[in-house]
Amino acid sequence: MRVVVFTIILLMLAAVSLFVGVADVSAAVVSISRIPRTAALILAGVGMSVSGVIMQQMTQNKFVSPTTAGTLEAAKMGLLIFLIFTPTAGVSLKMLSAFLFTFLASMIFLAIVRKIKHRNIIFVPLVGLMFGGIVGSISTFFAVQLNIVQDTNAWMMGDFSGILQGRYELIYLTLPAIIITYLYANKFTVIGMGEEFSRNLGLNYNYIMNIGLFCVSLTVSSVVITAGAIPFLGLIVPNVVSLLFGDNLKKTLPIVALSGAIFLLICDIIGRVVIYPYEVPIGVTVSIFGSIIFLFLMLWKRL
């Protein structure tokens, strides 16, 4: 029932999103620019919030997400390395590079998390943020050498205004990741309990872990390449949903996915309207709303 309500809201927002913009609505504008943009927004919203859920399940920590685990910074580093060594190669190599770096960084982060013993729950995201800061400072070092700091910032700023037919299809790679996550949702929860626990239940720990990392890396790197970094989404959407609807992942995962897309669509519409006919990049609107919501949850809702 809830899923139906959320789907209806999503469809309504998607329709609004199709008709917001400077150019007059015509068949060409809609098919070349508006539909790709709305589709990319929905996929990115679903993908980022679902990867937040996977990471939270695997680490059993509700503060872990692509923003707080260095994943976004790793994707940036992958893009930068690609640009330094093979600037002319095609988009598939770019994707591969970003994917490999995010995968590696997530593996390192999980290895670090496993060493943190029963500490304060906030300690894990702090370590993740430090880790991200370090990865970021290494990329910045090379970016300064090549005088491309401003350009790297431009790629990483989440922005859907450049999305056109023929230039965004990579984001459909999030679809398989989302489907796999849905099928494996409970297993991610089990491996979050620890290696021995999952062995006892007959799960192949490393196999499931790698599937989780694969899904997260695929989603994050394809979103970063098509639209740039979208912070906070994977952090706040799963937490708000679990506050409202509980923790049964099989039931709440669709709601998480839909709410992620709804949140992103709302932020995008606001960004497109607020300084019309110009646009505020979605990275900024998401950061503002995301950090306010997050602080509210932390300080007043006793998350």
Partner 1 sequence: MEKTITIRRSLLIALLLMIASAALFMFYKMGNSWEFALRFRGMKVITIIVVAGCVAFSSVSFQTLTNNRILTPSIMGFESLYLLIQTIIVFFYGDQTFKVLSHVDNFLVSVIAMIAFAFMLYLMIYKKGKDNLYLLLLVGIILGTLFSSLSSFMQLLIDPNDFFIVQGKMFATFNKINSDLLWSSLIIMVIILIIGFRMSKYLDVIALGRDQAINLGLNYNRVVKIFLVLIAILVSVSTALVGPITFLGLLVTNLTYELFKTHRHSVIIIACCLVSAIALLIGQFLMERVFNLSVPISAIINIVGGFYFMYLLLKVKKI
Q: How far apart are CA 38 and CA 171, in angstroms?
A: 12
Told to check if 88 binds partner 1 by CB under 8 A, we report: no
Verify binding: residue 92, partner 1, rule CB under 8 A. no
Angle between helices 91-115 and 71-85 (to 10 degrees): 140
* 189-197, Cβ contacts within 8 angstroms, sequence gap of 24 or more: 189/57, 189/249, 191/58, 192/57, 192/58, 192/59, 192/60, 193/60
SS3 category, 206: helix
Can you tell me which of 12, 25, 93, 130 binds partner 1, judged by CB under 8 A?
A: 130
User: Cα separation of 153 and 159, whole Å?
Assistant: 11
Query: Do the beta carbons of residue 163 and residue 226 sit within 8 Å?
Result: yes
Using the rule CB under 8 A, which residue among 100, 110, 129, 175 binds partner 1? 129
280 binds partner 1 (CB under 8 A): yes
Stretch that binds partner 1, among 116-124, 185-193, 218-226, 248-256 (CB under 8 A): 116-124
Interface positions, 138-197, toward partner 1 (CB under 8 A):
138, 140-141, 144-145, 149-150, 153-154, 156-157
Angle of helix 35-59 versus helix 174-192 axis, rounded to 10: 10
Look up tokens 């990471």; give the residue. Answer: 55
Among 18, 20, 107, 288, binds partner 1 (CB under 8 A): 288
Task: Report, in Å, the least distance between residue 14 CB and partner 1.
Answer: 25
Residues near partner 1, by CB under 8 A = 63, 67, 108, 111-112, 115-117, 119-120, 122-123, 125-127, 129-131, 133-135, 137-138, 140-141, 144-145, 149-150, 153-154, 156-157, 231-232, 280-281, 283-284, 287-288, 291, 294-295, 298-300
